[in-house]
């Protein structure tokens, strides 16, 4: 008889718990075993529910991540359009207006993503404000950049909220798994005490664990970091669902 561990996937833990619960429940004449079945069922059900809530939160995080990536794409386009407008007002590249509004070009603004780009866009808004006396088009361009920056911030806030919810539910799932493992180990110990030196009877109540024990890694399918390299929208790290 082998007990599941923290490395056993949740799906396997649930299957093991349901197996033990069902087998224990069949021995209705033994009050100890039926009580163990009830406890195993409660722990397994709590784990399955916690896993389900976490899975839903991970799925719900997809759209907020998409919206951040789209906001990054649109904001980059808006910054580049403003840069082109400044060069047009100068009558060509290397002019006074573009030099004042984009002293380091557009790359330092569009290369970051997430909160870093928002900070760069705010700085651009400040330079456009300062350039209004030099360039009549600075005001309308600032309004465009501000609009996209606000949309970006809104998308980031929504993604952050969704990411925090997923992280919280993962912590609750992990706590439910620890409770389940405690109940499973206690059940196995009690069954051994109920049938001392009878390995066949002990094994009867529990399914095999080793066939599906794998490491619960945190790298596969993990969303990008908040300030990922250019081209990514990013998201707060959320550990993927185990198999």
Ramachandran assignment for 221, one of left (phi > 0), alpha (psi -120 to 50 degrees), beta (any other) = left
Residue 213, φ and ψ in degrees, nearest 5? -80, 120
Q: How many helices (H) and strands (E) does the chain have?
A: 8, 0
Over the stretch 31-79, which tens digit does the pLDDT of each residue have? Answer: 999 999 999 999 999 999 999 999 999 999 999 999 999 999 999 999 9
- pLDDT-derived band at 215 (thresholds 50, 70, 90) equals very low
Closest-CA residue to 86 (of 71, 70, 75, 100)? 100
Q: How far is residue 23's CA from residue 1's CA, in Å, rounded to a whole number?
A: 15
pLDDT of residue 218: 38
Rg for the chain, CA atoms, rounded? 29
- pLDDT-derived band at 132 (thresholds 50, 70, 90) equals very high
Over the stretch 142-190, which tens digit does the pLDDT of each residue have? Answer: 999 999 999 999 999 999 999 999 999 999 999 999 999 999 999 999 9
Q: Where are the domains of the chain?
A: 1-231
Tokens describing residue 63: 């759209």
Q: How far is residue 110's CA from residue 124's CA, in Å, rounded to a whole number?
A: 11
Tokens describing residue 60: 């719900």
pTM of the predicted model as reported, rounded to 2 decimal places? 0.81
Closest-CA residue to 223 (of 87, 107, 57, 94)? 57
Q: How far is residue 133's CA from residue 41's CA, in Å, rounded to a whole number?
A: 73
Task: Determine the 3-state secondary structure of 29 from DSSP.
Answer: coil
Q: Does residue 211 have a pLDDT over 80?
A: no
Q: In the chain, how long is the greatest CA-to-CA distance?
A: 94
Tokens describing residue 188: 């196995």
Q: How far is residue 110's CA from residue 91's CA, in Å, rounded to a whole number?
A: 23
Q: How many CB atoms lie within 10 A of CB 9?
A: 18
Angle at which helices 31-60 and 138-194 cross, to 10°:
170
Cβ-contact 11, 198 below 8 angstroms = no
Q: How many CB atoms lie within 10 A of CB 75?
A: 24
């Amino acid at each position: 008889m082998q007990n599941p561990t923290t490395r056993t996937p949740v799906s396997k833990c649930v299957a093991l718990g349901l197996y033990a619960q069902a087998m224990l429940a069949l021995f209705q004449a033994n009050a100890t075993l039926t009580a163990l079945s009830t406890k195993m069922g409660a722990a397994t059900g709590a784990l399955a529910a916690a896993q389900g809530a976490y899975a839903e939160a991970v799925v719900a995080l997809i759209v907020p991540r998409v919206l951040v990536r789209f906001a990054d794409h649109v904001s980059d386009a808006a910054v580049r359009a403003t840069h082109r407008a400044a060069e047009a007002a100068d009558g060509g590249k290397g002019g006074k207006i573009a030099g004042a509004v984009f002293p380091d070009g557009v790359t330092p603004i569009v290369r970051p993503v997430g909160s870093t780009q928002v900070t760069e866009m705010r700085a651009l808004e400040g330079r456009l404000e300062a350039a209004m006396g030099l360039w009549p088009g600075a005001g309308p361009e600032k309004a465009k950049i501000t609009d996209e920056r606000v949309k970006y911030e809104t998308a980031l806030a929504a993604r952050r909220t969704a990411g925090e919810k997923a992280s919280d539910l993962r912590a609750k799932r992990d706590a439910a798994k620890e409770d389940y493992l405690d109940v499973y180990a206690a059940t196995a110990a009690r069954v051994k005490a109920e049938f001392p030196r009878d390995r066949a009877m002990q094994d009867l109540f529990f399914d095999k664990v080793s066939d599906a024990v794998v490491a619960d890694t945190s790298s596969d399918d993990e969303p990008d970091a908040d300030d990922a390299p250019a081209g990514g929208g990013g998201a707060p790290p959320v550990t993927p669902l185990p198999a």
